[in-house]
């Protein structure tokens, strides 16, 4: 069964691809067999992350337009925050990409974090690997941008783009060193706003001490995504980074990180939040979190 589905995916059948993503999301019995049959792929993954309101979805929309204009095919995974109660997506940002849903060169899938604290979907690794088996030239993953997701996406993407806006000065000042490390490219979006040039200058000064840890300096690119300005330069820099990282040591760390997360998930199999909630509720006032955890 899965071999037939995989064959269809390799031939670009988007309906089969969508169904198989749902099978992975819902852990349909036997879905691991599909994953085990996935071929090795060098399809580059572009991670787009950054704080809410930075214009990530508009930037992704502009990126799609640029890549499709170059006769490239693109798969896009958009990870939305989800309600802690019903696990449904809370945002409707995908409407900005609505013009691409019927384009044969574009596949867009919106996923909810489903309570994942890091801001990514719990099956994001498996789903991105499935997309890489399809005949796409690029896979783009847009994250929620809620903190830890910026670091998580670096373990998944070949090129990590951190999107900020000129007003984010204080926010950038408080960025952890880890975030500065994982950014392959900084994009200052909405660069037509006041003080954008000063913000870019200060950001470059902040990045200067980190240059020793990068073979190449971290580019800081100004964009006005809604006007498609700066997108050509962004795509050029993304391609340079992808080409540079083909034999980078980070590739092996990326694979180790993916293996670690998958092993972690496997160890957690059978532990369900809804069940935990009922156990805690039934324990009453005498509930002790640490004794409870020890049972597991």
Over residues 129-154, mean pLDDT: 78
Whole-angstrom distance, CA of residue 60 vs CA of residue 140: 8
* More confident call, 93 vs 165: 165
Whole-angstrom distance, CA of residue 241 vs CA of residue 53: 26
Question: Taking the CA of residue 111 as centre, how many other CA atoms within 13 Å lie in the half-sphere pointing to its CB?
Answer: 29
pTM summary value? 0.81
Give me the percent of the chain exceeding a pLDDT of 70: 75
Condensed to tens digits (0 to 9), the pLDDT of residues 49-77 reads 888 888 998 999 999 999 999 999 999 99
Q: Which range among 141-150, 226-235, 264-273 shows the weakest confidence by mean pLDDT? A: 141-150
Contact (Cβ atoms closer than 8 angstroms) between residue 189 and residue 225:
yes
Question: In this structure, are 50 and 17 located in the same domain?
Answer: no
What pLDDT is attached to residue 282? Answer: 85
What pLDDT is attached to residue 293? Answer: 74
The band of 90, judged by pLDDT with boundaries at 50, 70 and 90, is: very low
Over residues 272-293, mean pLDDT: 79
Question: In this structure, are 26 and 50 located in the same domain?
Answer: no
- DSSP β-ladder status, 138-142 and 45-49: parallel
Question: In this structure, are 105 and 132 located in the same domain?
Answer: yes
Tokens read off for 278? 């009922």
CB proximity list for 224: less than 8 A, separation 6 or greater: 189, 190, 191, 192, 230
What pLDDT is attached to residue 119? Answer: 44
CB proximity list for 286: less than 8 A, separation 6 or greater: none
What are the φ and ψ backbone dihedral angles of 64, each rounded to 5 degrees?
-55, -45
Q: What is the dihedral of CA 140, 110, 63, 180, to 10 degrees?
A: -60
Environment class of 59 (CB within 10 Å of its CB; exposed 0-12, middle 13-18, buried 19+): buried
- Kindly tell me if the per-residue pLDDT of 18 is higher than 90: yes
What pLDDT is attached to residue 85? Answer: 44
Contact (Cβ atoms closer than 8 angstroms) between residue 105 and residue 82:
no
Contact (Cβ atoms closer than 8 angstroms) between residue 171 and residue 197:
no
Tokens read off for 19? 């169904």
- Kindly tell me if the per-residue pLDDT of 107 is higher than 80: yes
- Kindly tell me if the per-residue pLDDT of 35 is higher than 50: yes
Question: In this structure, are 276 and 208 located in the same domain?
Answer: no
- Number of structural domains found in the chain: 3
The beta strands (E) that lie in 190-294 are given as: 220-222
Domain with 26 in it: 1-39
The band of 83, judged by pLDDT with boundaries at 50, 70 and 90, is: very low
- Kindly tell me if the per-residue pLDDT of 112 is higher than 60: yes
Tokens read off for 185? 């490219």
Q: Which of 59, 66, 68 is nearest to 103 (CA)?
A: 68
The band of 235, judged by pLDDT with boundaries at 50, 70 and 90, is: very high
* More confident call, 48 vs 267: 48
Question: In this structure, are 20 and 86 located in the same domain?
Answer: no
The band of 284, judged by pLDDT with boundaries at 50, 70 and 90, is: confident
Whole-angstrom distance, CA of residue 51 vs CA of residue 200: 17
Question: In this structure, are 268 and 243 located in the same domain?
Answer: no
Contact (Cβ atoms closer than 8 angstroms) between residue 201 and residue 231:
no
CATH code of the domain containing 62: 3.40.50.300
What pLDDT is attached to residue 215? Answer: 55
Question: In this structure, are 33 and 47 located in the same domain?
Answer: no
Question: In this structure, are 65 and 32 located in the same domain?
Answer: no
Question: In this structure, are 101 and 213 located in the same domain?
Answer: yes
Contact (Cβ atoms closer than 8 angstroms) between residue 179 and residue 151:
yes
The band of 84, judged by pLDDT with boundaries at 50, 70 and 90, is: very low
Question: In this structure, are 29 and 83 located in the same domain?
Answer: no
Could you count the other beta carbons within 10 Å of the beta carbon of residue 193? 13
Question: In this structure, are 34 and 169 located in the same domain?
Answer: no
Average pLDDT, the chain: 80
Question: In this structure, are 269 and 148 located in the same domain?
Answer: no
- Kindly tell me if the per-residue pLDDT of 177 is higher than 70: no
- Kindly tell me if the per-residue pLDDT of 127 is higher than 60: yes
Phi-psi region of 119 (alpha: psi -120 to 50; beta: other; left: phi over 0): left
Last residue of a domain, one of 227, 248, 269: 248
């Amino acid at each position: 069964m899965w071999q037939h589905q995989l064959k269809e995916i390799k031939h670009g059948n988007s309906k089969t691809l969508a169904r198989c993503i749902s099978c992975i999301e819902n852990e349909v019995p036997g879905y691991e067999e599909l994953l085990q049959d996935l071929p090795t792929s060098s399809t580059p993954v572009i991670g787009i992350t950054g704080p809410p309101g930075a214009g990530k979805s508009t930037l992704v929309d502009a990126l799609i337009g640029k890549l499709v204009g170059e006769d490239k095919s693109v798969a896009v995974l958009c990870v939305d925050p989800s309600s802690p109660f019903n696990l449904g997506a809370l945002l409707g940002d995908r409407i900005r990409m609505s013009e691409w849903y019927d384009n044969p060169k574009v596949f867009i899938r919106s996923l909810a974090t489903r309570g994942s604290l890091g801001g990514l979907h719990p099956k994001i690794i498996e789903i991105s690997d499935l997309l890489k088996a399809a005949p796409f030239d690029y896979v783009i993953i847009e994250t929620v941008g809620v903190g830890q997701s910026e670091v998580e996406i670096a373990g998944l993407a070949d090129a990590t783009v951190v999107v900020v806006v000129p007003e984010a000065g204080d926010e950038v000042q408080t960025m952890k060193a880890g975030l500065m490390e994982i950014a392959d490219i900084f994009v200052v979006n909405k660069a037509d706003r006041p003080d954008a040039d000063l913000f870019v200058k200060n950001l470059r000064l902040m990045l200067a001490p980190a240059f020793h840890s990068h073979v190449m300096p971290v580019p800081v690119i100004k964009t006005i995504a809604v006007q498609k300005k700066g997108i050509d330069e962004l795509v050029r820099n993304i391609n340079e980074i992808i080409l540079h990282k083909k034999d980078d040591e980070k590739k092996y760390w990326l694979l180790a990180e993916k293996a670690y997360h998958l092993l972690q998930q496997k160890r957690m199999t059978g532990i369900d939040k809804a069940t935990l909630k009922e156990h805690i509720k039934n324990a009453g006032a005498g509930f002790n979190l640490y004794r409870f955890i020890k049972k597991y």
